[in-house]
Amino acid sequence: MLSVYKSTVLQIEQKLLSETMPILTSVAQGLNKFFVILPPLYELILEIERDDIRGGQLLNLLHKRCHCGVPELQACIQRLLWHGHQVLYNQLSSWMVYGILQDQHGEFFIRRQEDQDMEYGSSIPDTSEKLARLSTDDTSLTDWHLGFHIFLDMLPEYIHMRVAESILFAGKAIRVLRNPSPSIQFQDTLYNQQTKKGSQKLQGSAGGVPFQREPFLDVKKIGEELLPISEADKIETMLLDLKESSEFHKRSFECSVDSIRAIAASHLWQLVVVRADLNGHLKALKDYFLLAKGDFFQCFLEESRQLMRLPPRQSTAEADLMVPFQLAAIKTISEEDKYFSRVSLQMPSFGITLKSSQRDLPKTKAFADGSSETSLGGWDGIALEYSVDWPLQLFFTQEVLSKYCRIFQYLLRLKRTQMELEKSWASVMHQDHTDFAKHRNDQMNCSISQLRRQRFRPMWRVREHMAFLIRNLQFYIQVDVIESQWNVLQSHIQDSHDFTELVGFHQEYLSALISQSFLDIGSVSRILDSIMTLCLQFCWNIENQESSQNTSELEHITEEFNKKSNSLYTILRSSRLAGSQRAPFLRRFLLRMNFNSFFEATARGVLNVVRPRPSLPVLSQP
Q: Which residues contact 113 (CB under 8 A, 6 or more apart)?
A: 127, 146, 147, 148, 149
| Residue 200 binned pLDDT confidence (cut-offs 50, 70, 90) | very low
Q: 560 or 545: whose pLDDT is higher?
A: 560
Q: What is the pLDDT of residue 598?
A: 72
| Rounded Cα–Cα distance for residues 12 and 132 (Å) | 69
Domain boundaries, the chain: 85-115+137-184+228-275, 279-348, 397-609
User: How far apart, in whole angstroms, are the C-alpha atoms of residue 406 and residue 414?
Assistant: 13
pLDDT at 358 over 50: no
355 φ, ψ to 5°?
-120, 105
Q: Which residue has the higher pLDDT, 229 or 544?
A: 229
Is 60 exceeded by the pLDDT of residue 360? no
Rounded CA-CA distance 518/569 in Å is: 13
- The better pLDDT of the pair 362, 257 is held by 257
- How far is 597 from 580, CA to CA, in rounded Å? 23
**3 state SS of 249:** coil
**Which ranges in 179-228 belong to alpha helices (H)?**
183-197, 219-226
Q: Are 416 and 295 in contact (CB under 8 A)?
A: no
Which among 4, 174, 187, 171 is positioned nearest to 92, based on CA atoms? 171
Interaxial angle between packed helices 219-226 and 183-197, expressed in degrees from 0 to 180 and rounded to the nearest 10 = 80
Average pLDDT value for the chain: 76
How do beta strands 148-150 and 343-346 pair?
unpaired
Question: How far is it, in rounded angstroms, from Cα 398 to Cα 403?
Answer: 9
Most confidently predicted of 112-116, 249-253, 309-313, 344-348: 249-253
Confidence band, pLDDT 50/70/90 cuts, at residue 102: confident
> Which residues, 6+ apart, have CB-to-CB distance to 283 below 8 Å?
339
Dihedral (CA of 239, 243, 247, 248) sign:
positive
Q: Which of 73-82, 280-289, 383-392, 578-587 has the highest mean pLDDT?
A: 280-289
Q: Label residue 403 by pLDDT band (50, 70, 90).
A: very high
Please tell me the distance from the alpha carbon of residue 548 to that of residue 535, in angstroms, as a whole number: 20
What's the rounded Cα separation, in Å, for the pair 535 and 413? 11
Tell whether the model's pLDDT for residue 533 goes beyond 60.
Answer: yes
Continuous segment of H or E residues that includes residue 437: helix 398-439
Those residues whose C-beta lies under 8 Å from the C-beta of residue 41, and which sit 6 or more positions away, are 1, 76
Return d(Cα 198, Cα 322) in angstroms, integer.
Answer: 31
pLDDT tens for 321-330 read 888 998 999 9
- At 513 the pLDDT is 92
pLDDT of residue 218: 57
Neighbouring CB atoms inside 10 A of 535's CB total 26
Question: Rounded CA gap, 1 and 408, in Å?
Answer: 68
Query: Is the model more confident about 613 or about 75?
Result: 75
Position 430 scores a pLDDT of 59
Q: Which residues contact 200 (CB under 8 A, 6 or more apart)?
A: 194
What single string gives the DSSP state of each residue in 493-513? HHH---HHHHHHHHHHHHHHH
Q: Band the pLDDT of 214: cuts 50, 70, 90.
A: very low
Least confident of 196-200, 241-245, 491-495, 498-502: 196-200
Strand partners, 344: 385
- Going by C-alpha positions, the residue among 258, 293, 485 that lies closest to residue 384 is 293
Mean pLDDT across 60-71 = 83
The C-alpha atoms of residue 255 and residue 250 are separated, in whole angstroms, by: 9
Which range has the worst mean pLDDT, 4-13, 26-35, 244-253, 357-366?
Answer: 357-366
Average pLDDT rounded to a whole number, residues 581-606 = 70
Of 107-116, 152-161, 536-545, 597-606, which one has max mean pLDDT? Answer: 152-161
pLDDT of residue 454: 64
Rg (CA), the chain: 36
Residue 469 makes CB contacts below 8 A (sequence gap 6+) with 531, 565, 593
DSSP 202: -
Predicted pLDDT at 451: 59
For residue 6, what pLDDT is reported?
77
Low-confidence winner among 164-168, 179-183, 413-417 (lowest mean pLDDT)? 179-183
Q: Are strands 383-386 and 343-346 parallel, antiparallel or unpaired?
A: antiparallel
Question: Helices (H) and strands (E) in the chain — how many of each?
Answer: 27, 4
pTM of the model: 0.76
Tell me the average pLDDT across 374-397.
Answer: 79
- Assess contact for 492 and 532: CB atoms under 8 A: no
pLDDT cut 70: percent of the chain above it: 71
* pLDDT for the residue numbered 612: 47
Would you state the pLDDT for residue 488? 93
Q: Which residue has the higher pLDDT, 548 or 370?
A: 548
The pLDDT score that the predictor gives to residue 163 is: 94
Instruction: Give the pLDDT score at 95.
Output: 92
| Of 37 and 300, more confident | 300
Give the containing element (helix H, strand E) for 346: strand 343-346
Q: How confident is the model at residue 145 (pLDDT cuts 50, 70, 90)?
A: confident
pLDDT at 483 over 60: yes
Q: Would you say 223 and 178 are in contact if contact means Cβ atoms under 8 Å apart?
A: yes
The percent of residues in the chain predicted with pLDDT above 90, rounded, is 22
Which residues in 256-292 are b (16+ Cβ under 10 Å) and which e? bbeebbebbbebbbbbbbebbbbeebbebbbbbbbbb
Question: What whole-number distance in Å separates Cα of residue 160 and Cα of residue 167?
Answer: 11
For position 447, what pLDDT does the model report?
Answer: 58
Q: Exposed, middle or buried, 250 (CB in 10 Å: 0-12/13-18/19+)?
A: exposed
What per-residue confidence (pLDDT) applies to 254?
Answer: 93
Contact 333/197 with Cβ under 8 angstroms?
no
> Which pairs count as long-range contacts for 114-121, CB under 8 Å and 24+ apart, including other chains?
115/151, 116/149, 116/151
Q: What is the pLDDT of residue 136?
A: 40
End-to-end C-alpha distance for the chain, whole angstroms: 122
Instruction: Please name which of 330, 320, 319, 327 lies closest in space to residue 303, comparing C-alpha atoms.
Output: 327
* List of residues 6+ apart from 154 with CB closer than 8 A: 55, 56, 57, 106, 107, 108, 109, 111
Are the beta carbons of 540 and 534 closer than 8 angstroms? no
The predicted structure's pLDDT at residue 204? 35
**Averaged pLDDT, 44-53:** 86
Does the pLDDT value for residue 53 go beyond 80?
yes
What pLDDT is attached to residue 128?
Answer: 42
